[in-house]
Structure 1
Amino acid sequence: MGEFSSKTIKELISLINEETSSNSLKLFKNDVKKLKDRNLLLKIFSAVREIKIDYSVGDLKTGDLCGVRTVKINYNNVAYRIAYYVDKPILDSEKVNIMFIHVGSRGNFYKELRDYFRNQKSILKYINNKAI
């Protein structure tokens, strides 16, 4: 991550958005935009890259968040989470599609995620049926 440590907050937000490109929900993009700590953004950027290399690094959730995966990030004694899901490829030769959903501190993370899905039932239903 040394090559990115000199980036400004705005540049890091842009890098995260590029890395997740069209594969993130508006909630995720807004979450990233709200963050103002360079080192936290670097950790998130690193985690996003790790997820893209091996999507199975996240814990697969069950129950009302079935199909959603989360990765833990600890920074300044605060636990953060990144939520994402992975689409099943239609053909064996296709790459999996990773959709980034939400990033935030552990305190209200799952409540915010459930509230989001309460208003976006079609997305959660899709994830429950299609995620791996």
Structure 2
Amino acid sequence: MEGTLNIWDAGESINLKSSELFATSANFTEDMKDNVSKNVLIFNAVLSPNGKYLALGDDFCRVSIWRIDYENTSDAKDIVKCVAIYKPDIKEEDKQNDSVGICDLKWDYQSKSVSASYYGIESVIVEAV
């Protein structure tokens, strides 16, 4: 719930990846870093049908998409690259009244986009690749 991702090989009992997703700045591109807070609560998590991406919905109503295809990368064990972040425009009074929140995330069958359903604002589709 606090944003730590662990990927295990259950057969071999080996930890393949372990990353504090939002606390590890190397997970983000420079232009993404302005939209990131280290203190994040994850409310939704959904794995793409192809198993290569993880979509997360957080307490700031953001949708972040992470590449978890560890087999095709030379990244360090603690690096999990964020490939997209969607941050909705929320009115200041809605932020104060807690009248907006993320409800659900669903991938399309091709693992190319994620639909995000919200309480209090319109739903969106976020392109992953």
TM range (shorter): 0.3 to 0.5
Higher relative contact order (CA 8 A, sep 6+): 1
| TM-score after normalising by structure 2 | 0.37
The structure with the largest helix share of the pair is: 1
TM-score computed with the length of structure 1 as normaliser? 0.36
